[in-house]
Structure 1
Amino acid sequence: MTAQPEQRVSHRRRTTGRRAVIAGVSALGLTGAAIVTSAMLSTAGAAASWPSDTGGKPVAKTIPVSGVYDGGMKKFYGTGALGGDGQDEGQDPIFELADGATLKNVVIGTPAADGVHCKGSCTLQNVWWLDVGEDAASFKGTSSSARYKVIGGGAKKADDKVLQFNGAGTLTVSGFQVEDFGKLVRSCGNCKTQYKRTVVLNDIDVTAPGKSLVGINTNYGDTATLSKIRIHGDSKKKIKTCTRYQGNSSGKEPKELGTGPDGTYCKFSASDITYN
């Protein structure tokens, strides 16, 4: 069960800077279909393109992944039972990753259904969501030792959440870009089973409009560490950085307690966030 959707944001196409794209691609040593294009290498401050896909691949039934699945930068999109792109709870994902699986070099188009589910520890490398459906990815492992890694890639046009953290363990997001979104990461505020969750955000490009970078439940001991966060197009600083909630397991809307660094649960300083 995921947290109930809050206020929606309008869909406006915006583009992010080249920095996160180049960093994510070069860090992964990607070649061939994932080569950085000349548009991505435009002058500093100019708009950058997202990667082009190498062809469409309709998905009528969830693709199970164990081990490593390399999508070759094909654009996967739902059809039939997976043809929904709304915010309805309980949708099936395009990909379901077993514990320890890796999904890489994938573009998820529209309809996106419920994106990607990780049943345990997982790695998402160079995965791009063009139009987030219910959530881009949901992390559902039940062990405190579970480790979820999102390396490179990006997501846009998310009415509510991008990365939904329902399970236990640590979620690390690095070299990622997000634009036109509700929340980048949300620790489930009202799941029937709750856990202590750790969130690490590093080297992230964020383009407004957006609502919140990360939401955590302090009463369950959640923490969020933020560093090298670059926010674009938000001169009035409307996007909340780290929001603290009092979570519950009853399904009720969680109570917001505060936002910003506090040194205990939201771990970062003003210098970790820059505005462009």
Structure 2
Amino acid sequence: MTSPAKPHARRRALTGGLAALGLSSVMITTVGVPPASAATWPRPSSSQPVSSTINVSGVRDGGMVRYYGSGDLAGDGQEEGQDPIFKLAPGATLKNVIIGAPGADGIHCEGSCTLQNVWWEDVGEDAATFRGGSTYNVIGGGARKASDKVFQHNGPGTVNISNFAVSEFKTFYRSCGDCSTQHTRKVNLSNIEATGTGSTARLVGINVNRNDVATLRGITILNDAGRKVIPCQKYNNNTAVGTGPDSKNCLYSNSDITYR
């Protein structure tokens, strides 16, 4: 009779299996959501061009279709004022979607929203913009090739981002520094895997003069021997005024950041 495996042996086997798949154990937390990893991007089930913004209310399951801009939505640069591929009504959920290139202005949430297992292959102007509402949840997924911002927070409220992989980015989350109507905003990052490129990048940019608060937990930063990825950049609107943890605005400790 074979002896039952010891618990610590099972843990070693699981860790080895994750390593073989290119997954970080820090990403394996949310049940029912595929763990994000810089090395495990999904294959689209099909591809669909989008020439005018798709409006979403309720729940839309994209079935892992790749949507990409065409016609009036064929832009993929940083020009302000581009229309999005998807526009979510307050309370809407968009899940299991891949946004390809051109990505236009990604996704606009007009109110509180949930983005679940959404992947941006080549971020256009921004991956998603949060414009109104109080709570915005990004659960799983990933984004890459963001020459400016990934998530832009223009409205009030709190953005929660968990189990997400990001690479080739400049700023992962930015609280708007020059919106005509300003707010105190919050962002919570949990189980994020960020891959550096050797250039300066920021996980979050917040306005300390507006009393913004960023909380970072379970952050893994890859390929950043030079420590170019700044976990928390502080601004007075658009003027950088410092970095690093504190007890008021940038809430994290050194143990919340792992470099690999």
Which of the five TM-score ranges fits, normalised by the shorter chain?
0.7 to 0.9
Change (3 A) 1:205 1:237: same
What SS class does the counterpart of residue 24 from structure 2 fall into? helix
Partner SS, residue 87 of structure 1: coil
Are 2:88 and 1:100 equivalent residues in the alignment?
A: no
Q: Is 1:263–2:247 an aligned residue pair?
A: yes
Q: Which amino acid is the alignment partner of residue 275 of structure 1? A: Y
Q: TM-score, normalised by structure 2?
A: 0.87
Q: Residue 164 of structure 1: SS of its match in structure 2?
A: strand
| Match 2:226 to one of 236, 243, 252 | 236
More off after superposition, 48-57 vs 198-207: 48-57
Q: How does 1:1-276 map to 2 (within 5 A)?
A: 17-19=22-24, 23=28, 27-28=31-32, 48-141=39-132, 143=133, 146-209=134-197, 211-247=201-237, 254-276=238-260
Q: Work out the CA distance in 2 between the residues paired with 1:19 and 1:106.
A: 22
How far is 1:262 from its partner?
1.2
| Alpha-carbon distance between aligned partners in 1 of 2:27 and 2:255, rounded to the nearest angstrom | 23
After superposition, the CA RMSD in angstroms is 1.8
For residue 22 of structure 1, report the CA deviation from its aligned partner.
6.3
Q: What is the deviation of 1:72?
A: 0.2
Q: How many residues align?
A: 237
Question: Quick check: which has more Rg, 1 or 2?
Answer: 2
How high is the sequence identity, in percent, across the aligned residues? Answer: 55
Higher relative contact order (CA 8 A, sep 6+): 1
- Kept in 1, the 8 Å contact 2:33–2:140? The answer is no
d(CA) in 1 for partners of 2:58, 2:258: 37
**Contact 1:20/1:176, CA 8 A, preserved across alignment:** no
Q: Which amino acid aligns with 1:235?
A: A
CA separation of 1:49 and 1:217: change in aligned 2, threshold 3 A: same
Q: Unaligned regions of 5+ residues in structure 1, if any? A: 1-15, 31-35, 41-46, 248-253
Equivalent-residue separation in structure 1 for 2:259 and 2:202 (angstroms): 15
- Distance in 2 of aligned mates of 1:78 and 1:131: 12
Name the CA shift for 1:268/1:21 in 2 (closer, same or farther; >3 Å): closer
Structure 2 Cα separation of the partners of residues 177 and 99 of structure 1: 26
User: Structure 1 residues 125 and 246, CA, compared in 2 at 3 Å: closer, same or farther?
Assistant: same
1:203-242 Cα deviation digits (max 9, x unpaired): 0000012610000001111000000000000011111110
SS in 2 for 1:157: strand
| Partners of 2:85 and 2:105 within 8 A in 1 | yes
Counterpart contact for 2:50–2:69, Cα < 8 Å: yes
Contact 2:116 2:139 in 1 (8 A): yes
- Higher-strand-fraction structure: 2
Shift of 1:49: 2.9
What's the secondary structure of 2:215's corresponding residue? strand
The one-character-per-residue Cα deviations of 1:3-27 (angstroms, maximum 9, x if unpaired) are: xxxxxxxxxxxxx952379637x62
Q: Does the 8 Å CA contact 2:193/2:221 hold for their aligned counterparts? A: yes
Query: In structure 2, what residue type is equivalent to 1:18?
Result: L
Residue number in structure 2 paired with 1:11: none
Q: Distance in 2 between matches of 1:199 and 1:235?
A: 26
Scaled by the length of structure 1, the TM-score of the pair is: 0.82
